[in-house]
Chains A and B, each alone.
Chain A
């Protein structure tokens, strides 16, 4: 027993991945690319994958990427998903700012508060999408936005878990 506990779990020579600083941004771009999947849905209930991964990283760590990267990452998401250009650029930058301000206020965080925080951010994302669709007279009734919101919130823990695995891998833990 003691011997087992003393055996190091780390393999010798295991170190952070060479691209550890780039991995979070790459996963966000990959998630944005999920919009290219050949899914033909007439309801639009799938989550905004790019944003889920984005807030997943930001809630896990304070500095997954330099703060200004939010804008180009959002631009990539806008291009691949077909949102009006600039939507994710502004929203993702604002998210970075908002979460930094929240980080200064909060004394402690646990898993449930993070989920609530993520749920609020996802709700803001969905509502803004609806609001912008309304600007061009293309908004469905607000009640139609409820199913995608619930789906996104329920799916978030899965993304958070995946991101924590990727984080452990990139840091060589």
Chain B
């Protein structure tokens, strides 16, 4: 295709011409696909799911190897200085036991209070448990690959958390792997509140592994360094009281927080059903009718 003038041969001239047409067709098809995948992302869910399943044995297998190698090194590191570590752990354990007794008392009191208020308790169910095995490391978006898919019951839109905090929500589901939109992605906006005083805030990713938090009411900056941000359960997608991040830096009308659940260090991630599916469905319906 590169030859400027293929000579007098008609055949060569036509070949050149048709290869130009083919490339232009490629561009047009690409633009159509791109528009479709931006306007109606659900169009390609099946294809994306299949691609996730194809790569998941590679990702899963290699992450197994990496985890083993890392385990060997950190395991050897733990033997180093074991005696002082042991003493420190014992001290920590004592402190934890005291805190646990306190927590149990609070838990009981809480249950009694809830019973008097007759609050309907939401049963927390787990859909699937997987590991975070990969990420979108060459893109400005923040996605992670989870080693659980629709064969485990995972569906698009379900929230994902780890024992430490919120990870994100499912956006593509293959049958054995799925893609998670992390809380640190710009497109992920989580209704949240401050653990300290319950002030409602909005958490939005910043695309570089951190989260931007802003108060809903404009005015005084309610954040302090070290504040914990938790989900509020508003909107019905994410369950309430899941820790999201810890404030590390203040800016003029909000703050920057670090996610508490670091996808690189979480041993496993839990997929939960949408907190209140009816609310999410209603939201989606209104969004669909709003769109012309």
Residues of chain A at the chain B interface (Cβ within 8 Å): 33, 35-49, 62-63, 66-68, 70-71, 74-75, 79-94, 96-97, 100, 103-104, 129-130, 132-133, 135-140, 144-145, 148
Contact = CB atoms under 8 A, between A and B. Distances in A.
Contacts of A39: 134-135, 137
For chain B, give the interface size range: 35 or more
A66 B63 contact: no
Give the secondary structure class of A's interface.
helix
Contact of A41 (B32, B35, B137, B140): B137
Given A89-B30, A93-B27, A135-B38, A44 B139 contact: yes
B138 A48 contact: yes
A130 B140 CA distance: 7
Contact of B34 (A41, A85, A130): A85
Given A62-B1, A67-B1, A140 B186 contact: yes
B96 interface: no
Contacts of B1: 62-63, 66-67, 96, 100
Contact of B62 (A38, A103, A148): A38
Report which residue of A87, A91, A144 has the largest number of chain B beta carbons within 10 angstroms of its beta carbon: A87
Interface of B: 1-4, 19-20, 22-27, 29-38, 41, 44, 47-48, 51, 55-56, 58-60, 62-63, 66, 132-144, 172, 179, 184-187, 206-209, 262-264
B2 A46 contact: no
A79 B48 contact: yes
A68 B30 contact: no
A158 B184 CA distance: 32
A112 to B, nearest CB: 21
26 contacts: A37-B137, A38-B59, A40-B144, A40-B264, A41-B137, A46-B137, A62-B3, A63-B1, A67-B20, A67-B22, A71-B25, A71-B30, A79-B51, A81-B139, A82-B136, A82-B143, A82-B172, A82-B179, A83-B139, A86-B35, A93-B30, A94-B27, A132-B38, A138-B141, A140-B207, A148-B138
A70 B63 CA distance: 31
Contacts of A130: 140
Given A37-B62, A40-B144, A42-B209, 17 more contacts: A36-B55, A40-B137, A42-B142, A42-B262, A43-B137, A44-B140, A44-B208, A68-B25, A70-B23, A79-B47, A80-B51, A85-B33, A86-B29, A86-B33, A90-B30, A97-B24, A103-B2
Interface centre among B2, B36, B134, by most chain A C-beta atoms within 10 angstroms, is B2
Contacts of A92: 26, 30
B142 A84 contact: no
Given A68-B22, A80-B55, A44 B141 contact: yes
